[in-house]
Amino acid sequence: MKINQAWLEKRRQELAIMEQMEIESQLRRQEARAEEDAFLRRVHNRRAAQERGEDLHLAPVPTFDQIFQQKRSEELAERAEAERLRIESMTPRDRWFMALSYQDRLAVQKWELVNGGMPYPVVGLD
């Protein structure tokens, strides 16, 4: 009986991939077990210290504001800078157009559409 070499090689590759996945899974389980053991040791040590009557100095738990305040400040500064650059890059006509109400913008766009794309005439912006 003739063995299909291509199929055999594909099957070997599949088995190698499955073996690698099993090894990675074992490593993840070992890491999780080590973390759990470390946590249980801390719990045991803490309980033993409490039973001995030792004073436990608890670290204050930071609030979300304390954790994320610097990041939030950086994000707000980036947004402000982006907005400043956006406004700087606008032409006087763009600023005028953005200051209009929604209905007025629609009317200007309609006028420009009807007049073949010619810009709406505004005194002082040309």
Tens-binned pLDDT, residue by residue, of the chain (126 aa): 577 888 889 999 999 999 999 999 999 999 999 999 999 999 998 899 888 888 777 778 888 888 899 899 999 999 999 999 998 999 888 989 999 999 999 999 999 999 998 999 888 876
- Kindly state whether residue 114 falls inside one of the protein's structural domains: yes
Domain residues for the domain of 31 are 1-54
Q: Are residues 48 and 97 in the same domain?
A: no
Provide the domain count of the chain: 2
Q: Are residues 6 and 50 in the same domain?
A: yes
Q: What is the 3 state secondary structure string of 11-79? A: HHHHHHHHHHHHHHHHHHHHHHHHHHHHHHHHHHHHHHHHHHCCCCCCCCCCCHHHHHHHHHHHHHHHH
- Kindly state whether residue 80 falls inside one of the protein's structural domains: no
- Kindly state whether residue 107 falls inside one of the protein's structural domains: yes
| Stated pTM of the model | 0.39
User: What is the DSSP track for 88-115?
Assistant: HHS-HHHHHHHHS-HHHHHHHHHHHHHT
- Kindly state whether residue 66 falls inside one of the protein's structural domains: no
Determine the pLDDT at residue 126: 61
Determine the pLDDT at residue 1: 59
- Kindly state whether residue 104 falls inside one of the protein's structural domains: yes
- Kindly state whether residue 84 falls inside one of the protein's structural domains: no
Q: Are residues 2 and 46 in the same domain?
A: yes
- Kindly state whether residue 125 falls inside one of the protein's structural domains: no
